[in-house]
Amino acid sequence: MGILGGLHAYIVTGGSEAAREALAFRLAREALCSAPDAPCGVCEDCRKSLSRAHPDLHEVTPDERGAIKIESARAMREAAQVKPNEAARQVFLVHGADGMNAAAQNALLATVEEPPTPCIFIFVCENSRALLGTVRSRCGLVRAEDEDEAAPAAPEGDARALARALVRGVRSKSALTEAFAPFTKLKGDGAVRKLEEARSTLANAAAASPQLASRALRGADLASRAEDMLRANVTPAQVASWLIASLI
């Protein structure tokens, strides 16, 4: 389910730094994804945003002193004048936004209020009060929660087993064979859809957990390659055998 409404800007605050960053990145992915259930995790926009390679995703970070100065604000303002390259909008993800000085915030204010092209600004803040009231009044507030406060719902059914196996949550060959057994009985389109569900689950896991990201992204890549094999008329049983061999 999507979080974004119809605003041009959002402040992500609350929780730990990791929770804020994970939520902000999820919002950025949602804004770039064109699927109804954004972020779907499987479209080209999602693939690019997950690898931090989307041309319409602009990330701004503080300098070594934790400051974001007027030059960065002016660069965002200029970039916002350009139409999106591939997605429906550009996304400006500003990490440590409470480090923006007053001059930087004022330079960005008019653009945040009324972007010249489709844009969304996401300000990640430990202390949202560090932002000027004129900026805060133009933003929606989204609060992050730590995992022990609001654990995400686990995926259900075969897709969950596939996702666990693809991140090596199942380690022995016999356990992998058991995990993939329901998949081998699926027909072509059903098998592709199940892999897409598992890949979406892994993409969301990669965004939500820095510790899991590398394994989840590798699993998502294996799922993507397996989907291509199915579309080339390789049977689900053969694909399962290839995945097991790749994982052990």
| pLDDT tops 90 at residue 165 | no
Question: Which secondary structure element, helix H or strand E, spans residue 92, and what is its range?
Answer: strand 90-94
Does domain 9-143 fall under CATH 3.40.50.300? My reply is yes
CA angle 143, 127, 213 (to 5 degrees): 55
Q: With bands split at pLDDT 50, 70 and 90, how would you rate the model's confidence at 85? A: very high
End-to-end CA distance of the chain: 35
| pLDDT tops 80 at residue 172 | no
92 or 226: which carries more pLDDT confidence? 92
**How much is the pLDDT for 224?**
83
Q: With bands split at pLDDT 50, 70 and 90, how would you rate the model's confidence at 209? A: low
Q: With bands split at pLDDT 50, 70 and 90, how would you rate the model's confidence at 11? A: very high
Predicted TM-score (pTM) above 0.75: no
Q: Which of 40-44, 65-69, 196-200 has the highest mean pLDDT?
A: 65-69
70 Cβ contact list (under 8 Å, min separation 6): 101, 103, 104, 107
**How much is the pLDDT for 150?**
40
CA angle 60, 64, 69 (to 5 degrees): 50
As to burial, measured by CB atoms within 10 angstroms (0-12 exposed, 13-18 middle, 19+ buried), residue 235 is middle
**Lowest mean pLDDT across 1-5, 39-43, 49-53, 229-233:** 1-5
**How much is the pLDDT for 102?**
95
Q: What is the pLDDT of residues 176-204, one digit of tens each?
A: 788 788 888 887 788 888 888 888 777 77
Exposure string for 95-117, b = 16+ CB within 10 A, e = fewer = bbbbbbeeebbebbbebbeebee
Q: What residues does each domain of the chain span?
A: 9-143, 157-247
| pLDDT tops 70 at residue 228 | yes
**How much is the pLDDT for 149?**
44
- DSSP letter at 98 equals G
Identify any residues that bridge with 13 across adjacent strands, giving them in sequence order: 143
**How much is the pLDDT for 33?**
92
| pLDDT tops 60 at residue 2 | no
**How much is the pLDDT for 1?**
43
